[in-house]
Structure 1
Amino acid sequence: MAARGRALETLPKLIRNLRKDSLSSTRTQAQVLPSLRRAFSLYDQINLINNVPEDQLRFQGYTDTGFTVNGVTYEGSLLCVGNLLTSWGPHKFSEITPESLSIFQIIRPIPEILILGCGRLIEPVDPELRHFIRSTGMKLEALDSRNASSTYNILNEEGRIVAAALLPYGVSS
């Protein structure tokens, strides 16, 4: 009951701050991903926006050539496993092969899902690549890179073991 009272007291301030931020922010070249954190959990407890542990990866924005993760801008394709981040070789969707994802044959624990960021548009995944991903024990979700990075944020925040292989948003077939 006390948590509900604190949440109700904090809600008007949170809404005012969000409105003030949205009115005062100017559009920059990099597009910011919307926060996908909920203001209230299922138990009516306040969940402060962007209150993410320092060691947890969080995609904050994207450009046509890269991503912003935890305040650092990275150019090119990225591969994320849990809270580990590395640059990734493919520059276009046709270069994504079982060999480019071979790290998933050796890492443990195996992520439950691989989120594949296809660039600007969702691309059909080659059956050989789909079979390879299934053979590692992962599920596959192919999305445009903007939505793929947001989905990664949500699943990672939930504490799930998740991986993302992301091409920059400007990539198109």
Structure 2
Amino acid sequence: MALRQKAVATLPVLLRSLKKDNPKPATQQLPSLRRAFSLYDQINLINNVPDDQLRFQQYDEMGFVVNGVKYEGSLLCVGNLLLSWSPKKFSEITPDSLSVFQILRPIPEILILGCGRHIEPVGSELCSFIRSAGMKLEAVDSRNAASTYNILNEEGRIVAAALLPYGVSS
């Protein structure tokens, strides 16, 4: 018990000596969040897209809004070229409907196929055609296809998208 009392009595003296040896560190302000957000705004790719670059902004059951313009029906996009596309439903997507890729140069590295509301299995004939054209195929629903196209196009990749309106279902 005596040892404990001695330790308790020595504790305040020990703490005072430690405070004298180690002066209180100067406080530093944290960086301003305003500064961090302004830096983010300078590198924000989503809102700083060049005027000549296609960007899907919205979609609905009937079509898409691209660079502020509403388009109804199916669309075919290659790089920054936007075309109306004839297929109205997934079963109408054939090698003939994608024949532009036989003459187009440079060949896109990937074709993003927007199947409408749901992902559809792509037939072997269409897969063979796309592979023979020198492209890879990604078949997803049209909402994700438009988003993926935006990302890859903003990265400067040579990308193509064939999109059915989101309202199309099998």
- Give the equivalent residue in structure 1 for 2:10: none
SS of match in other structure, 1:67: strand
TM-score, normalised to structure 2, is 0.77
Q: Which runs of 4+ in 1 moved over 4 A?
A: 5-8
Larger fraction in helix: 2
Once residues 6 and 139 of structure 1 are traced to their aligned partners in structure 2, the CA distance between those partners, rounded to angstroms, is: 45
SS at match of 2:146: helix
User: Residues 37-116 of structure 1: matches in 2 within 5 Å?
Assistant: 39=40, 46-47=43-44, 49-116=46-113
Q: 1:9 aligned to 27, 35, 52, which one?
A: 35
Q: Does 1:172 align with 2:163?
A: no
What is the CA deviation profile of residues 47-81 of structure 1, one whole-angstrom value per residue up to 9, with x for unaligned ones? 25411000000000001000000000000000000
Deviation at 1:95, TM superposition (A): 0.1
Q: What is the number of residues matched between the two proteins? A: 140
Q: 1:130 to 1:51 in 2, by over 3 A?
A: same
1:162 and 1:48, CA in 2 relative to 1: closer, same or farther beyond 3 A?
A: closer
When structure 1 is superposed on structure 2, of 49-58 and 98-107 the one drifting more is 49-58
Q: Could you give the per-residue CA deviations for residues 123-143 of structure 1, whole angstroms, max 9, x where no partner exists?
A: 000100000000000000000
d(CA) in 2 for partners of 1:158, 1:169? 25
Residue matched to 2:157:
160
Please say if residues 77 and 88 of structure 1, whose CA atoms lie closer than 8 Å, have aligned partners that are also in contact. Answer: yes
SS at match of 1:73: strand
Q: Which residue of 1 aligns with 2:8?
A: none
Q: Helix, strand or coil: the match of 1:61?
A: strand
Distance 1:127 1:86 in 2: 25
In the alignment, structure 1 segments of 5+ residues that lack a partner are: 15-38
- Alignment TM-score, normalising by the size of structure 1: 0.76
**Structure 2 runs not aligned, ≥5 long:** 1-30
Deviation at 1:113, TM superposition (A): 0.1
Note the C-alpha offset of 1:161. Answer: 0.2
Aligned mates of 2:141, 2:102 — CA distance in 1:
25
CA offsets per residue over residues 107-126 of structure 1, 9 Å max, x none?
10000000000000000001
* Aligned 8 A contact 1:63 1:168 in 2: yes
Over alpha carbons, which structure has the higher Rg?
A: 2
Q: Distance in 2 between matches of 1:88 and 1:60?
A: 19
